[in-house]
Amino acid sequence: MRVCCAPLLLVVLTAASALAQGAEGPKAEPPADAPKVEAPTAEPPKAEAPKAGEATGAPPAAAATGEVPRAEPPAPPSPPVVAAPADPCADRLVCIANDKVALWPKLRVRTGYQFVEPDPEILYIGQNDGFFIDQARLGAEGSMVGGIGFKLTVEAASLLPGSTPNAALTPLVSALRDAWVSWTPSPWLAVQAGQQYLPADWEGGDVEASLPFSSKSVLSAGVRPGQGIAVAGLSPSRQLGVVIGSAPGAGIADVAIDYHLGIANGNGYNQSGNDNKWPAVFARVGAGIGGDLVKVGLGGRFNPRTTGTVPNLYAENDAVGFADAALAAAGAELVVTGIYRQTALATLVPDPANPQGQESAAGVMGSVAYDIALPEVPVLGAGWRVKPALRSAFYDPSSSFQTDQLLETTLGLRLSGPANLPAALFLDGTLLTELGDVGAGVVARDLADNRVTLLFQWEL
């Protein structure tokens, strides 16, 4: 009896010792070839809360029960994000801005020296050349939330109005140039009111600072006093009025669209009020492909104006049409412009069908330029560019005269500084030739009025 019970007691003590080690000490490892059996735990493990920024898997309930979660329907697509408006201070050296308004100065100085060949018979041509100031402008431009824009500039080198047509010596005075406010609710609609340039031909805006020449062509600007017999060009000056059209960036696919319609007084800048009851109408439409690769435009204006002084007033109606095209590729630039004006002398000859009651003007201009990047200069640094250019313009100011046709040929060179130095130097020579009407057998006015111009420009 003792022999059979001793082994049984030993087995019981061994089992009790194993249970005590499982509760307090390490478990006994089973043999290497025996399968491992996980001991059930008293309660299921608690699901930990996901950390911030971590994606969760199945819901806690599904993880505890082992059920496969049902597929949720896809979330609706989020609305497209509207691109933020362009930073108005991105490409400006000086600009003050906050979340409501941005303001930057407008400064431009154009000064230089000009030599005009003197004519031996006309004393006001070429006798008063020398140092000159072409422009000295001061002002500011800005933009506000809601698509509001504004600009105000004053010209300190304006000519005194009311002088004789060919007065080469004229005092300089200060005068208003740009004074407008605009509203642009979308790229397809912009409204601008005040004194401004109206829709016009290629040279009919504030483009002098970007040209490779020291001045506009004779077709656009005419002949200044002292440079020859003074004559007005065919591009309009600034006007007081309203312009409605597209904003920069309007277009369809890769085609930029340009359209503008303007209504103004029609009697020039710095004139408060109209010369009669009828406004002048201006229009331009154009398109561009590939940025500046190809640009074309056409348009015109109609201005029923009144000349003379009370009580001797005369009604004259100007109808102007123009077309222009520009091509820019691989550093080369080509511009071609044609303008035609017809004036009906309504007071002197009431019947417009009478050829003697109409007077006309016409001209064409073409220019070619090539932009060259200069290598880095040890003293001046990098970023300098030189642009040689050639321009030719033919202009017949009036069909009433047979000896007033002009042929202008200009060879120019522009040296531009880097982006952080907004300065440029212009050197050009101009041959101005007076012609007779082709086929009329008229001897041309052979004037001596060729000129050479050296001009320095600084713009901010």
Q: Which domains does the chain have, with CATH numbers?
A: 96-289+382-459 (2.40.160)
Residue with more model confidence, 64 or 445 = 445
Whether 64 has a pLDDT exceeding 50, the answer reads no
pLDDT class for 81, splitting at 50, 70, 90? Answer: very low
Residue 62: partners with Cβ closer than 8 Å, 6 or more residues away? 68, 69
Distance (Å, whole) CA 26 – CA 281: 101
Residue 279, token pair as written in the block: 């406004």
Whether 39 has a pLDDT exceeding 80, the answer reads no
328 — phi, psi (to 5°)? -135, 120
Q: 189-196 and 172-186 as β-strands: parallel, antiparallel, unpaired?
A: antiparallel
Distance (Å, whole) CA 408 – CA 397: 13
Query: Residues 151, 152, 157, CA angle at the centre, nearest 5°?
Result: 135
Distances (CA, A) of 207 to 183, 196, 245: 23, 13, 19
pLDDT class for 365, splitting at 50, 70, 90? Answer: very high
| CB-based contact 422:204 (threshold 8 Å) | no
**What pLDDT is stored for residue 253 in this prediction?**
85
Residue 242, token pair as written in the block: 């309203």
Residue with more model confidence, 236 or 55 = 236
Rounded mean pLDDT, 323-329: 96
Whether 179 has a pLDDT exceeding 70, the answer reads yes
Distance (Å, whole) CA 280 – CA 264: 5
Model pLDDT for residues 389-412, shown as the tens digit of each residue: 999 999 999 998 888 999 999 999
Rounded mean pLDDT, 78-101: 73
Distances (CA, A) of 81 to 77, 84, 87, 254, 424: 12, 9, 17, 22, 42
pLDDT class for 161, splitting at 50, 70, 90? Answer: low
Model pLDDT for residues 329-354, shown as the tens digit of each residue: 999 999 999 999 999 988 877 776 77
Mean pLDDT of the chain: 83
pLDDT class for 75, splitting at 50, 70, 90? Answer: low
**What pLDDT is stored for residue 456 in this prediction?**
97
Q: What is the CA radius of gyration of the chain?
A: 40
| CB-based contact 451:129 (threshold 8 Å) | yes
Model pLDDT for residues 14-29, shown as the tens digit of each residue: 444 444 444 444 444 4
| CB-based contact 268:239 (threshold 8 Å) | yes
| CB-based contact 222:233 (threshold 8 Å) | yes
Residue 409, token pair as written in the block: 């040929």
Residue with more model confidence, 224 or 167 = 224
142 C-beta neighbours (distance < 10 Å), count: 19
Helix, strand counts (H, E) of the chain: 3, 19
Residue 269, token pair as written in the block: 């800048």
